Chains A and B, each alone.
Chain A
Amino acid sequence: MSDGPFLSLLAIVCLAGLACVPDEKKLGESPSSVIQLTYWPAPNQQEVQLADSLVRMWNRMYPAVQVRVQPIPVSQSTEEVLLAAIAAETTPDICSNIWPGALHEYTKAGGLLPLNQFADFDSTATLRTPRELLNTFRSEDGQFHQMPWKTNPVMMFYNKKLFREAGVDRVPRTYSEYLAIGARVTRDIDGDGRIDVWMGERDIRPIWWQRLFDFYPFYIAASGGQTLFRQSEVVFDNDAAVQVMAFFRECYGRKLFPLTFFQGGDPFLLERKATHFGGPWNIATIQKLAPHLEFGIAPLPVPDNHKGQVYTAGDYKNIAIFSNTRHPREAWEFVKFLIKAEHDLLLLQIANQIPLRGDLLTNELFASYFRQNHAMVTFAEQAVYTRGMDSAPDLKEIFDVISQEYEAGAVYGRKSPHTAVQDAARRARMIIRWNQ
């Protein structure tokens, strides 16, 4: 048997394979036919600005692969848009607003490309993100469908001026302290019978993702870093969850939080509430829209008997390549470009969000930024003590259930905190069982 045809075929395959590998030099070569990639960043102003800057740089450097920025179409949630896009096969090539909690749905739909198929995935990812943290982003099938990009630890912003005016000279660290300070801060200033300054405010509508900024981070803080599931089992019907529910019940019961939602602007920016639970993205908003607002940042309040480090939830957002891309290798090169150290610096400078890097507080590149933006050091330090989202089916509905029970147990007090937590866990188990 002659080896001739086999060797010829092998040579053709190898040549074709080599032709498909676009190293940086090839990407920079003058184009014979230009490859177009579409990149969806989050639709907020800072991230669109960051995306525009990065893409302009990329397009100048690599004329053969041109990237088009298109902010994620505005909807009630990014996850809805992405799922609809996967179903309609209208996904972009790359998206940098992938919430790990929705990854199960995306991968189940076959919408994402496993990134570990690229030979340099491991070296690229571990160079930036500690392996232990990286492993938490592994999909259930053992693959990596996301490149960890940034996290936004939820912390407490407080208005220094409003605290000062109420004679408060310390930041609340426990539930008792928060409630005591709240009683002093919350007041009717002009005597018209309406409260003008509230201690805090949360959107009372049972919208599932609102719980990512109150119940969930407070639960992680109170439980010392536990999430909702352990080995796919619902485990949040515990004392920590009850304490959190009871704390928010007190906030509403003592009228430190309003039983309505504000219309006509952000009450923290308008200095109508003294504390706000949010992430580092709020800093840019405050500096832009309320530059005179004096604010501080502190860990979330915890139960009075809490010991040890205060954890919180991190709103992780990662980068993914969609499986219907026609140029996976070029898309992967673009992903690598997005997570370069100098571009992480831009992420900090433009969007005030924390890149998921192990060397954030030790790398000289970022030192001057943190010297100038001391508030961000607090977030960078907290980032280590941050927990993300479990990989579980129907998380959206489970958070919806938690929202409903939060409404009943905390906002309206129609159920005891204990019953609300038990009911939420029972219904969450029903949803998980239905999914099995």
Chain B
Amino acid sequence: MKRIVTIALSLKKSDSAGFWLVSPYLIFFLLFVAYPLVFSFILMFHRWDIVTPMEWVGLKNFERLFADPLFFKSIFNTFVFLLVHIPLQIIVALTLAVLLNSATKMRGLFRAIYFLPVIVSGVVVTILWQQLYAFDYGVLNTFLTSIGLPRIPWLVDPDVAMTSIAVMATWKNVGIYIVLFLVGLQTIPRELYESASIDGADTRKQFFYITLPMLNPTMVMIVVLSTIGGFSLFIEPFVMTGGGPMQSTLSATLYIYNQAFYFNHMGYAATLGFVFALIILAVVLLQRKLVETESVS
């Protein structure tokens, strides 16, 4: 009996200590995950402009969503961004990583230079690129006209603007993916290249038959990370174009932000956020399925 009491007491003490140890995470979770999640769920069935009391509207927010062409446009734009950004990111990052991996001199300096945009504030980078992209007096168009080429409407043509933003986002983020590819490249055993070289494989064949297949796990990780980053596209269109021209750069996150903080439609924004989260979930599940298939194969 005495032994049981001792065990119970020690368990209790241990529980209490454990509870205190995890409490920072618990508090964080309750404040920044559970509470916003529950509150957002409640908001979906209300109209609330922050200022006046919440008003129950039932499924009205969902009715509006399905009749709102701008939401679907913003989802479409986000996918356009992903379609341009992810392949571009992979091609540029991989090319630079291969070059940096083979460089013998000043390797560290170049790595630092390519990583620099990653640590610079997104707003600063965006304002800088806004000056580069300016139609009449931007650096890029001034250069183009000086060599006799026509100006490109980088940010003022609805067909070009999202691609321009994707190029800028690639420049901003490529450093981190270069590092990831470099890590991947350095884990490939040198013996594979030596063996292939003895068998007569040239550099091109070595790249396509050794480097690329061996980088597959890194590639998958980069696709997943780029997808997640792409879905949260916000700063670039917010600062550069405000979502224009003709909503061609209006990302889903920017549209949700506009509804919440520009028009004060908190309930509708929560509904948009919920549906957008479902879409992301579907894409992530699809990717997971592809990754699992890859592992099995």
Chain B min CB distance to A431 (Å): 8
* A271 on interface, CB distance cutoff 8 Å: no
Complex partner residue of A83 from B47, B243, B264, CB under 8 angstroms: B264
The range of chain A's interface size is 20 to 34
Once bound together, how far apart are the Cα atoms of A207 and B200, in whole Å?
63
Chain B min CB distance to A409 (Å): 10
Q: Which of B33-50 contact A (CB under 8 A)?
A: 47, 49-50
Once bound together, how far apart are the Cα atoms of A87 and B264, in whole Å?
11
Chain A min CB distance to B72 (Å): 13
With A108-B52, A412-B158, A430-B64 as contacts: A263 and B137 at CB distance below 8 Å: yes
* A111 on interface, CB distance cutoff 8 Å: yes
Per-residue interface assignment for chain A, residues 77 to 110, with 1 indicating a CB less than 8 Å from any chain B CB and 0 otherwise: 0000001001100000000000000000100111
Whether the Cβ atoms of B49 and A412 lie closer than 8 Å is: no
Residues of B within 8 A of A400 (CB): 263
Once bound together, how far apart are the Cα atoms of A50 and B70, in whole Å?
43
Residues of A within 8 A of B153 (CB): 259
Q: Which of A394-409 contact B (CB under 8 A)?
A: 394, 396-397, 400, 404, 407-408
* A414 on interface, CB distance cutoff 8 Å: yes
Q: Which of A157-183 contact B (CB under 8 A)?
A: none
* B12 on interface, CB distance cutoff 8 Å: no
Residues of A within 8 A of B51 (CB): 83, 86-87, 105, 108-109, 111
With A407-B245, A407-B246, A430-B67 as contacts: A396 and B52 at CB distance below 8 Å: no
Specify the chain B residue showing the minimal Cβ separation from A76. Answer: B262
Whether the Cβ atoms of A397 and B246 lie closer than 8 Å is: no
Complex partner residue of B245 from A83, A87, A204, CB under 8 angstroms: A204
* A358 on interface, CB distance cutoff 8 Å: no
Complex partner residue of A408 from B64, B135, B246, CB under 8 angstroms: B246
Whether the Cβ atoms of B263 and A206 lie closer than 8 Å is: no
Once bound together, how far apart are the Cα atoms of A372 and B261, in whole Å?
46
Q: Which of B70-127 contact A (CB under 8 A)?
A: 70
With A87-B51, A263-B134, A396-B263 as contacts: A404 and B246 at CB distance below 8 Å: yes
Whether the Cβ atoms of A260 and B52 lie closer than 8 Å is: no
Q: Which of B47, B49, B64, B268 has the most CB of A within 10 A?
A: B49
Once bound together, how far apart are the Cα atoms of A407 and B63, in whole Å?
26
Once bound together, how far apart are the Cα atoms of A87 and B60, in whole Å?
25
Q: Which of B229-276 contact A (CB under 8 A)?
A: 242-247, 262-265, 268
Whether the Cβ atoms of A397 and B263 lie closer than 8 Å is: yes
Whether the Cβ atoms of A206 and B49 lie closer than 8 Å is: no
Chain A min CB distance to B61 (Å): 8
* B68 on interface, CB distance cutoff 8 Å: yes
Once bound together, how far apart are the Cα atoms of A105 and B49, in whole Å?
9
* A374 on interface, CB distance cutoff 8 Å: no
Per-residue interface assignment for chain B, residues 210 to 229, with 1 indicating a CB less than 8 Å from any chain A CB and 0 otherwise: 00000000000000000000
Once bound together, how far apart are the Cα atoms of A249 and B244, in whole Å?
18
Once bound together, how far apart are the Cα atoms of A269 and B219, in whole Å?
55
Per-residue interface assignment for chain A, residues 406 to 436, with 1 indicating a CB less than 8 Å from any chain B CB and 0 otherwise: 0110011010000000000001001000110
* B156 on interface, CB distance cutoff 8 Å: yes
* B294 on interface, CB distance cutoff 8 Å: no
Whether the Cβ atoms of B52 and A414 lie closer than 8 Å is: no
With A397-B263, A407-B244 as contacts: A194 and B136 at CB distance below 8 Å: yes
Residues of B within 8 A of A108 (CB): 49, 51-52
Whether the Cβ atoms of B247 and A404 lie closer than 8 Å is: yes
Once bound together, how far apart are the Cα atoms of A111 and B63, in whole Å?
30
Once bound together, how far apart are the Cα atoms of A427 and B135, in whole Å?
31
* A205 on interface, CB distance cutoff 8 Å: yes
Once bound together, how far apart are the Cα atoms of A273 and B70, in whole Å?
34
Whether the Cβ atoms of A414 and B242 lie closer than 8 Å is: no
Whether the Cβ atoms of A207 and B242 lie closer than 8 Å is: yes
In the assembled complex, 27 residue pairs joining A and B whose CB atoms fall closer than 8 Å, in A order, are A87-B50, A105-B49, A109-B52, A194-B136, A204-B244, A204-B245, A206-B243, A206-B244, A259-B153, A259-B156, A260-B135, A260-B136, A260-B156, A394-B263, A400-B263, A404-B70, A404-B246, A408-B246, A411-B245, A412-B158, A412-B245, A412-B246, A414-B158, A427-B69, A430-B64, A434-B268, A435-B47
Identify the A interface with B (CB < 8 A): 83, 86-87, 105, 108-111, 193-194, 204-207, 259-260, 263, 394, 396-397, 400, 404, 407-408, 411-412, 414, 427, 430, 434-435
- A109-B52, A259-B156, A434-B63 are known contacts; what are 7 more A-B pairs with Cβ within 8 Å? A105-B49, A105-B264, A204-B244, A396-B262, A400-B263, A407-B244, A414-B158
